[in-house]
Structure 1
Amino acid sequence: MLVLLRLAFSSLKSRVVTTSLTVFSIALSVLLLVSVDRIRQGAQEGFSGTLSQTDLVVGARGGALPLLLYSVFHIGTPSNEISYTSYEHFRDHPAVQWTIPLSMGDSHHGYRVIATDENFYEHYRFHRDHSLQFTDGTAPDGIFDAVIGKEVAERLGYHVGSKIVLSHGLEDVSLLKHGDKPFTVVGILARTATPVDRGIYITLYGEEAIHLDWAGGTPPALGEEVPAAKIRKEDLHIQNISAFLVRTRSRVDTLLLQREINNYRDEPLTAIIPALTLQELWSMLSYADVALSLVSGAVLVVGLVAMLIALYTALNERRREVAVLRAIGFHARQIFILFVLESTLISAAGMAFGLIAAYGLLWLARAPMEAHFGIPLAMVGVSSRVSLYACVVVLAGALLGCVPAIRAYRNGLIDGLNAH
């Protein structure tokens, strides 16, 4: 068998151009097939790991999916705000263990600014039971204190003590800035591999302060600004927030509280269970996943057929080679195995290069997808589905290799020696 394996390598090496192109076509098809599966699972794990131990997400009346996307993943914008009075009502509800208020509407160089309180740093959990940690500094306490995520610190070169000016609105480039009220970075969060890394966090009082002299979204006229030094916390009154996270005391409380919030008469609210909403998202995207997998599978079939055509076409050129092998004592069965080995090696090489390319592409695409699209993409290992793909590719290559192998098996010694 070792001799046949060496012969197979030598034979493929002698036809390096044809072999390379065939391996490339199989690798490309495997790359597409595996990438679709890995991106799907990576996105699912990334989204699922972003928020843990939160039973409800509450926002203004609207769709469940938009609420989850803007409040947790910083994708999209709030449809409306909810009153702080309604938030306080449910914050003090006997079924509630803790809440995290969230208010967003400003940005800084394209990064979201989220106003919250001390509960965010104490209770927010991700990847099951991981809590937020600081690599430098502490949580904000003053009106114009800010905490930044790890990615913000690295991309913009900020450190504790840096001054930042927030922009009004969520656009990457905004002409309306709160230049008269800069914030000071007092803390930098440790990396979480979640949207938290791309956020800038201020206090709810800080958000009220920078909009204190604004009217209807319009900045104050020149000379009418309220100086930051004159703003005191006791003079600020929080009016609205965008959403809040809720942890209940039991699962039964979660369902009862969700119904109570959705039927709240003082203000139209929507309460969603994050895990269920994510399942709805994956159900919506399942059709696209199936379609992409079918296309990738079709490309894989084309790649394997191309290998079959290349091996079968080369038979006429290899009739003398087969005859020589028969003349020096090789049995027809060994010739059959030689051709099957060649097709197996080609499919195995294509599968290996395809897997390497797929995981390399996933690693390279992770940061841009998180930065530009806000999609958390977790690095995931080899799943049973990918292992199945690999086995199918190699097995299909070996089976398709039987077609030229059968013809080579039937080639007689005299036919081979008489070939021109």
Structure 2
Amino acid sequence: MFGLAFGSLWNRRFLAALTILSIALSVALILGVERLRNEARNGFANSASGIDLIVAPRGNSVQILMATVFGAGSTGTGLTWDTYQTVEALDQVGWAVPMQMGDNHRGYPVIGTERSYFDHFRHSGGQMLEFAEGRPFGAGESEEAVIGADVAERFGYGIGDVIVNAHGLGDVSFDMHDEAPFEISGILARTGTATDKMVFVSLAGFDEIHAERTPPEADPFAAESIAAAPDAPAQDVDHEGADGHDAEAEHGHDETHADGEDHDDHGHADESHGEDDHDHADDAHGDDQEDPHDHAHEPDQINAIYVGLKDRRAILGLQRQLTELRTDPVSAVIPAVALAELWSITGTAERAMLVMGWAVALAGMIGMIVMLSATLETRRREFAILRSVGATPGSITGMIVTEAALLMAGGILAGLALLAAATALANPVLSARFGLSLPLWIDVPQDLGILLGLFAAGLVAALIPAARVYRMTLADGLSIRL
């Protein structure tokens, strides 16, 4: 029966090829949608797997997650450094890393953070960040940058190359910071997460970008009125910005935290521990690495804080405690909960794509039924000859089912080949824009179940023309209708 079925399909190879193509398209679409959905979910989960809480200005949890972890959008207003110190000093907090955002490098997000980010951040179920080349930016170093694997690959960057960042998010650049270039000190190994598409600089470097921007000119009428005042002291003119040489007032004194080295000299990094000024000065000139709360630079504002807990069982209590902070109104976001909210938003689109895939599969099976049924009348002589040489109605029915099985098997194999080719073409784009990389071949536990389900559905659909053939062969025998 197998040889007869194959020969019969070969005689109708054009129609058979069209049927196989429709089945192949349905297989590729169903598996492609499923892989894209799973890889997107895994990529999102892996990117935020090592963060217990994200503290940011009060807002929507999904927006905060997308802005901080994936560099898409912004958190709105900023947090004061006092808020960061308050969070860092909480008993339940094991580590806290400040984050600054709002700049981009040729469309890739620029993150201002501390060197400890590379020690505490985890991805893909707890893996540490590793360097493919180079090292992290130096402690207190404001002119070095670390880039992700995708950034290095996209632009061909290497250690020692100089890059310039711009103000703005995504591909929108409002102001190029040519006056504050960065030298690449390290390139991160590929993680398959959003980290591959980021550029990291120190807090001091992030602030220095904006501090070195040329300040707007002072109002000439205001300056003239101040200068015309007979009793106006000289320092008032300087304070209003009339004197263009007052760079120190424009960029900030020691209290404005514009120079990270001044903080080390005055020991401001340890003020949150309640020590006196003399002890602070001694600690600042000592071993800074031993104190986890010692910071080389303290910016006026940050955008978010990554928090790791000593005991994750305290996460809900700490979340409630953080929402009651008096320093700033904040939201404490649990990444897993925010991801669940994101999936509930995108779930409708995912289901729509899956329904579309199964609809295409159904259309392919209907096409197979139509092809098999449409040729039954022209094949009645063939069936009669088979009966004359001893074939039973059941054997002829089995031949029709065998033909359907060959069509389904050919469609599945063609669909896998089509999916592999489409994946190979789409992976560079998906990796560059979304940090996703789809597998070329089937995932045995998951994809095999879908393929077996499609094959079984095709055999069930073939029972419709097979039942008709069975009735025809019983009625016709050797007689041929003219």
TM-score over 0.5 for the pair: yes
- Does residue 260 of structure 2 align to residue 233 of structure 1? yes
- Does residue 78 of structure 2 align to residue 81 of structure 1? yes
Q: Which moved more, 1:180-189 or 1:282-291?
A: 282-291
CA shift, 1:72, in A, is 0.4
Partner residue, 2:462? 401
CA shift, 1:280, in A, is 1.4
Q: Which moved more, 1:57-66 or 1:290-299?
A: 290-299
CA shift, 1:384, in A, is 5.2
**Cα deviation per residue 1:236-279 (whole Å; 9 max; x = unaligned)?**
65111111110111123222211111111221101011111111
The 1:34–1:224 alpha-carbon spacing in structure 2 relative to 1, beyond 3 Å, is: farther
Taking the TM superposition and a 5 Å limit, the aligned residue runs for 1:118-137 are 118-137=115-134
CA shift, 1:292, in A, is 2.5
**Cα deviation per residue 1:199-252 (whole Å; 9 max; x = unaligned)?**
11110010111111347899x9xx989799xx9532465111111110111123
CA shift, 1:110, in A, is 0.8
CA shift, 1:76, in A, is 1.5
Aligned residues of 1:111 and 1:198 also touching (Cα < 8 A) = yes
- In structure 2, give the amino acid aligned to 1:343: A
SS in 1 for 2:99: strand
* TM-score (norm. length: structure 2): 0.79
- Does residue 222 of structure 2 align to residue 161 of structure 1? no
Q: Which moved more, 1:26-35 or 1:83-92?
A: 26-35
Partner residue, 2:195? 196
Aligned residues of 1:35 and 1:359 also touching (Cα < 8 A) = no
Partner residue, 2:360? 299
Aligned residues of 2:164 and 2:177 also touching (Cα < 8 A) = yes
Aligned residues of 1:31 and 1:357 also touching (Cα < 8 A) = yes
The 1:242–1:416 alpha-carbon spacing in structure 2 relative to 1, beyond 3 Å, is: farther
- In structure 2, give the amino acid aligned to 1:329: G
Unpaired runs of 5+ residues, structure 2, are 218-240, 252-257, 263-296
Distance 2:410 2:192 in 1: 33
Q: Which moved more, 1:398-407 or 1:269-278?
A: 398-407
Partner residue, 1:342? 403
- Does residue 316 of structure 2 align to residue 255 of structure 1? yes
Aligned residues of 1:47 and 1:376 also touching (Cα < 8 A) = no
- In structure 2, give the amino acid aligned to 1:143: S
- Does residue 90 of structure 2 align to residue 93 of structure 1? yes
Partner residue, 1:209? 208
SS in 1 for 2:74: coil
SS in 2 for 1:54: coil
- The percentage of counterpart residues that share the same residue type is 34
Taking the TM superposition and a 5 Å limit, the aligned residue runs for 1:244-283 are 244-283=305-344
SS in 1 for 2:366: helix
Distance 1:355 1:176 in 2: 47
SS in 2 for 1:326: helix
Distance 1:257 1:378 in 2: 37
- In structure 1, give the amino acid aligned to 2:93: V
The 1:217–1:150 alpha-carbon spacing in structure 2 relative to 1, beyond 3 Å, is: farther
Distance 1:324 1:61 in 2: 80
SS in 2 for 1:57: strand
- Does residue 205 of structure 2 align to residue 178 of structure 1? no
Partner residue, 1:68? 65
Unpaired runs of 5+ residues, structure 1, are none
- Does residue 88 of structure 2 align to residue 27 of structure 1? no
Question: Max radius of gyration: which structure?
Answer: 2
**Cα deviation per residue 1:279-327 (whole Å; 9 max; x = unaligned)?**
1111222222223322322222222111101100011121222222222
**Cα deviation per residue 1:361-414 (whole Å; 9 max; x = unaligned)?**
345434423433x36456495365543432232122212222222332333496
CA shift, 1:31, in A, is 2.3
Q: Which moved more, 1:284-293 or 1:45-54?
A: 284-293
Distance 1:78 1:232 in 2: 25
The 1:265–1:216 alpha-carbon spacing in structure 2 relative to 1, beyond 3 Å, is: farther
